[in-house]
Amino acid sequence: MSNRGNFSSRIGFILAAAGSAVGLGNIWRFPFLAGTNGGAGFLFIYLICIATLCVPVMIGEIAIGRRALSDAYGSYNKLGGGKWGYLGLYGILAGVFILSYYNVVAGWAFGYFIEISFGNLLNHQDFGSFFGEYVNQIGPLFLFSLGFMVMTAVIVSQGIAKGIEAANKIMMPGLYLILIGIIIYSLTLPNAGAGVNFYLVPQLNEITSKTIFYALCQAFFSLSLGMGCLITYGSYVTKDQNIVKSAAIISIADTSVAFLAGLMVFPLVFSLGAEPGQGPKLIFVILTQAFQQMGPLTGRIVGGAFFLLICFAALTSTISLLEVPVAFLVDQKKLPRKVVVWSMSGIIFLLGLPSMFSQGIVPFLNKLPIHNTPDMLSLISDLCDIALVSGGCLMTIFIRNRWKIENLHEELSIGNPGYMGSWLKSYIHYTIMYICPVLLGIMSVLVITDKFFGLEWLWG
């Protein structure tokens, strides 16, 4: 066990887990999902999901990892035995597929950073069609996402303390600063108020079944839950750390970045007279338009810095995604870390090619005959969302029926002397024993049904 590595400090773990959580999910996916699913209503449901379902799942995952000191597969196997290891494998597989398409989107962001800083992207007139053309060029796409994968591999091959912690310490503060800067700018624009209204004043009658499904999946995705990522990181956490408190800090950091991203995007959308429900291209279109309005030099500097910081945020997430299969192969198969890192990265990059080509390059890949899921990238992302929610559900069933809740409480009281008598213990007890397994179970079934057959008839 001694050579597995540990986070060097409490703050190191929190930064790494928050770095995993904060990524494209917060800045790219959260705003566009909020934009297509009712704005404030989406935010409202999202926050409820975080507090009632996600925080307990996060605490459970970290505790499992720290108790078992192993990767996702090894942890379930050690604490549960029998077939429980398969639950770990299910998560690892989900992580591999998430990384395959995540890396493609990271390549778009990396490309935008280059095009804004060193090219003349901001001289364009129609940023919507620019985006459409951009994601259809094989050369740059291939190059930028390959570049991204290589950066991820280089950092992960350095091991836990050196690579992952160091990357996070630079990125987080910078990201907050630039978000707040752009928010201040966007709030001064004409008609910004309409955007604030759309984002912060819920119209309860606009909440549909879709709002709830997407908000729940997004909450899992954004907090990196349900696939053993935090089990893996939890296995590098030392016994003197307070898991409940760390989980609270990580969740607040992640949720605040998503919240700020929305607060940045929607005033811009409304002041530019644009459409909030334009899907995955939303931030690429809206922000470039805003950077253009800032003037040639300022736009280039702010825009370049913004996309660079998104790349950092994405990088700390891809690192955590790659770490999951790598830890599994290193722990279980005793393979050398470097070999595993480079071969996994290669495989995952290849797995991402269909997603990369699904935006128009290969026409078949964006006309899939599946309800609501026109292209390969969306299909894989939907399947992964389902895996996360159902994986979270099974994890809570694992705790209540196999590992036993008393063991969870015991693990959580290590590094947290007051835990046993606290209200937090009751909150974790009831959510893990009843609320999460039941609600996440029901939601998994409904989300599957909705994504593939459509459930609009049910509610909205």
In the complex, least distance from residue 216 CB atom to ligand TRP, rounded to whole angstroms: 13
Instruction: Give me the sign of the Cα torsion angle 291, 292, 294, 297.
Output: positive
CA dist 455 and 452 (Å) reads 9
State in angstroms the smallest separation of the CB of 178 from ligand TRP. 17
How near is the Cβ of 154 to ligand TRP at its closest, in Å? 18
Q: In whole angstroms, how close is the CB of 33 to ligand TRP at the nearest point?
A: 12
Give the residue with the Cβ less far from ligand TRP, 16 or 244. Answer: 16
Residue 122 or 179 with smaller CB distance to ligand TRP: 179
- Shortest Å, Cβ 101 to ligand TRP: 11
Q: How far apart are CA 176 and CA 178, in angstroms?
A: 6
Residue 201 gets the label, from left (phi > 0), alpha (psi -120 to 50) or beta, of beta
Point out which residues bind ligand TRP (CB under 6 A): 20-21, 23-26, 95, 98, 221-222, 224, 227, 229, 317, 320-321, 388
Token pair 């995705």 in the structure block, residue = 221
HEC string for 354-419: HHHHHHCCCHHHHCCCCCCCCCHHHHHHHHHHHHHHHHHHHHHHHHHHHHCHHHHHHHHHCCCCCH
Residue nearest to ligand TRP (CB): 25
Our CB check for ligand TRP shows the closer of 109 and 269 to be 109
The dihedral region occupied by 416, where left means phi > 0, alpha psi between -120 and 50, and beta the remainder, is beta
Residues 206, 460: Cα–Cα separation, whole Å: 8
**Shortest Å distance, C-beta 283 to ligand TRP:** 13
Residue with tokens 């080509």: 357
Closest distance of CB 145 from ligand TRP, Å: 15
Task: Return the number of the residue (57 or 274) whose C-beta is nearest ligand TRP.
Answer: 57
Nearest CB to ligand TRP, comparing residues 99 and 122:
99
Q: Which is nearer to ligand TRP, 72 or 272 (CB)?
A: 72
Supply angle C-alpha 84, 86, 90, rounded to 5.
Answer: 130
- Would you say 401 and 76 are in contact if contact means Cβ atoms under 8 Å apart? no
- When the beta carbons of 145 and 317 are compared against ligand TRP, the nearer one is 317
CB closer to ligand TRP, 24 vs 153: 24
Please state, in angstroms and as integers, the Cα–Cα distance from residue 279 to each residue in 36, 153, 255, following that order: 7, 30, 21
| Min dist. Cβ of residue 26 to ligand TRP (A) | 5
Geometric angle at alpha carbon 91, from 398 and 258, rounded to 5°: 100
